Amino acid sequence: MKILVPVKRVVDYNVKVRVKADGTGVDIANVKMSMNPFDEIAVEEALRLKEAGNADEVIAVSIGVQQCQETLRTALAMGADRAILVKTDEVVEPLAVAKILAKIADEEGTDLVILGKQAIDDDSNQTGQMLAALTGRPQGTFASEVVLEGGKIAITREVDGGLETISINLPAVVTADLRLNEPRYASLPNIMKAKRKPLDEKSVEDYGVDLTPRHKILAVSEPAAREAGVKVADVAELVEKLKAAGAI
């Protein structure tokens, strides 16, 4: 079984992002970039399935600028077998990403696609669902547990009422939630080995996908500043302030 794991290069989650002065987007100049945390969880889950003898190969794929190679090398250092970079300097929206991934999944003959449920830069939470629709594969979203059972996958997912367990047939698309696992750290020997693992470069033209944006960003702004809190002497004063604010 082959597993395809898409990974995205995003601003590191520890970095406080700054909005550009002209309000056209987020300033990423000289900012630390890393793998999207949810995709890192997806890579870990794919590796665990391989280590359990349920998969033969884990393929990492990224779509974006040349620097995405660094993100793919991280996936290779974690244990992925090979990587594919679909190089483009254009902004790629979720639908275009899903179309490219659908073609790669078909070309590679992958039985399972595991990806993060969302990216922390745009929080779209769309690519996995769109990919499932484009490929006609069953999907298991927001997975907090994945168990392979023959030709099926049992997925436990968090829903409003608690936990829901579903069983879907392979080939399938699974999106990883935060509590699925704890990603491993890449050891120094594996980081060195990753430099020798195959990383193929492709272009968007190889897959014939139109990257024309479907929406336009009008403006980006910082969240409104919060007002400072105040201390109250007792419960009665707290109640009065809440009433005055219309909270109760």
* Per-domain boundaries in the chain: 2-244
Displacement of CA 199 from its chain's centroid (Å): 20
pTM of the shown model: 0.86
Find the distance separating the first CA and the last CA of the chain, reported in whole Å. 58
Task: Classify strands 26-27 and 18-19 as parallel, antiparallel or unpaired.
Answer: antiparallel
Query: Which ranges of 94-234 would DSSP assign to H, the alpha helix?
Result: 94-108, 127-135, 188-194
Measure the CA dihedral 48/52/53/57, to 10°.
10
Q: CA 48 to CA 13: how far, in whole Å?
A: 24
Q: Residue 222: phi, psi to the nearest 5?
A: -70, 150
Q: Locate 52 and state its tokens.
A: 């359990």
CATH of the domain spanning 2-244: 3.40.50.620
Amino acid at 245: A
Q: Residue 109: phi, psi to the nearest 5?
A: 65, 40
Amino acid at 213: P
Q: What is the pLDDT along the chain (248 residues), one digit of tens a residue?
A: 999 999 999 999 988 888 888 888 888 888 899 999 999 999 999 999 999 999 999 999 999 999 999 999 999 999 999 999 999 999 899 999 999 999 999 999 999 999 999 999 889 999 999 999 999 999 999 999 999 987 899 999 988 888 999 999 999 999 999 999 999 998 899 999 999 999 999 999 999 999 988 888 888 888 888 888 888 889 999 999 888 887 77
Helix pair angle (94-108, 127-135), 10° resolution: 50
Query: Which ranges of the chain would DSSP assign to H, the alpha helix?
Result: 37-51, 68-78, 94-108, 127-135, 188-194, 235-244
Q: CA 95 to CA 215: how far, in whole Å?
A: 11
Structure confidence at residue 202 (pLDDT): 95
Task: Classify strands 33-35 and 112-116 as parallel, antiparallel or unpaired.
Answer: unpaired
Task: Classify strands 112-116 and 2-6 as parallel, antiparallel or unpaired.
Answer: parallel
